[in-house]
Amino acid sequence: MDIRSIGVVGAGQMGNGIAHVMAVAGYEVKLNDIDGEALERAMTLIAKNLDRQVSREKITAEARDAALARITTTQDMAEIGPCDLVIEAATEQEAIKHKIFESLAPHLGPDTILTSNTSSISITRLASRTDRPERFLGFHFMNPVPVMSLVELIRGIATDQPTYEACLGVVEKLGKTAASAEDFPAFIVNRILVPMINEAVYTLYEGVGNVRSIDRAMKLGANHPMGPLELADFIGLDTCLAIMNVLHDGLADTKYRPCPLLTKYVEAGWLGRKTKRGFYDYRGDEPVPTR
């Protein structure tokens, strides 16, 4: 299938990054969100990130202007349906994702491919509630999308080969690299990464080290570019908790039990950078550990 137009549902951290890279690669992009202000913020951020790429000579000013011109925003789901490829990039809550695909159903073209940017939820289960499980795929970008080179492609049990190959072609056109994953909880990256973060939170919870010493130990001792608690704040503690719950529920193994301290931070609304507080407090000039 020749993919030319792409609909992105959700204009948050992931959705705006996906719209950005798709437009730079030459696709016509429709960016959707129920919140008009979220769409305005997304376009402002996309323009800012494109300007940064121009300043670093990653793209030309002409390419920046052309990319911005390829993105249109809409709050109407009906405008997303006719796109060749739809990427759902809403919050990591299964009920919300099902609702999005249900609302898209009456507007879809006969050959439209549906995908989800979910970081952990079953692709087979999401696909089963649509009219086209064979044309449904997990399309998991890494954050921040314009910078990270990997995309996980996750086949559901019904996903057909042409759908996989069409999406693989998109990844290649973006200049990114695909990793194929089977449809098991959290796939590859988060199956490995988020339990490590959860273990770092347990290390904090049990008093083995404080926030600063845990992050410093992993940056200098394991050569990680970011410490695990710093990374958790960047990802969003609510997202980390959601993924741990998916792993715990889906695999029924106690090693995936979310740390109670992670749960407490989420209950407090301390979700990391996006709320200005998490394992660090970001309200001042420099991040300050909260424990």
What residue spans in the chain does CATH classification 3.40.50.720 cover?
Answer: 5-182
Flag whether 12 is marked binding. yes
The CA distance from 139 to 146, in Å, is 15
Q: What angle do CA 15, 133, 86 make, to 5 degrees?
A: 25
Active-site positions? Answer: 119, 140, 152, 190
Tell whether residue 92 is among the known ligand binding residues: yes
CB 4 within 8 A of CB 84: yes
How wide is the angle at C-alpha 51 spanned by C-alphas 46 and 56, nearest 5°? 125
233 Cβ contact list (under 8 Å, min separation 6): 272, 273, 278, 279, 280, 282
Q: Which two tokens stand for residue 177?
A: 């690299």
11 is in an annotated binding site: yes
Cβ neighbourhood burial of 247 (10 Å; 0-12, 13-18, 19+): buried
Q: What is the Rg, in whole angstroms, of the alpha carbon atoms belonging to the chain?
A: 19
Q: How far apart are CA 219 and CA 223, in angstroms?
A: 5
* Nearest-angstrom CA–CA distance, 123 and 114: 11
* Tokens found for residue 167: 């999406």
Task: Say whether 143 counts as a known binding-site residue.
Answer: yes
Superfamily of domain 5-182: NAD(P)-binding Rossmann-like Domain (3.40.50.720)
- Reading phi first (left if > 0) and then psi (alpha if -120 to 50, else beta), residue 215 is in alpha
Is 290:270 a contact under the CB 8 Å cutoff?
Answer: yes
CA distances from 254 to 119, 195, 214, 261 (A): 21, 11, 23, 16
Q: What is the pLDDT along the chain (291 residues), one digit of tens a residue?
A: 789 999 999 999 899 999 999 999 999 999 999 999 999 999 999 999 999 999 999 999 999 999 999 999 999 999 999 999 999 999 888 999 999 999 999 999 999 999 999 988 999 999 999 999 999 999 999 999 999 999 999 999 999 999 999 999 999 999 999 999 999 999 999 999 999 999 999 999 999 999 999 999 999 999 999 999 999 999 999 999 999 999 999 999 999 999 999 999 999 999 999 999 999 999 999 999 999
Is 14 annotated to bind ligand? yes
Which element (helix H / strand E) includes 138?
strand 136-141
Paired with 181 in beta bridges are 154
Class of domain 191-284: mainly alpha
Q: What is the pTM of this model?
A: 0.89
Contacts of 165 (CB under 8 A, 6+ apart): none
Domain with CATH 1.10.1040.10 in the chain: 191-284
Q: Is 97 annotated as a binding residue?
A: yes
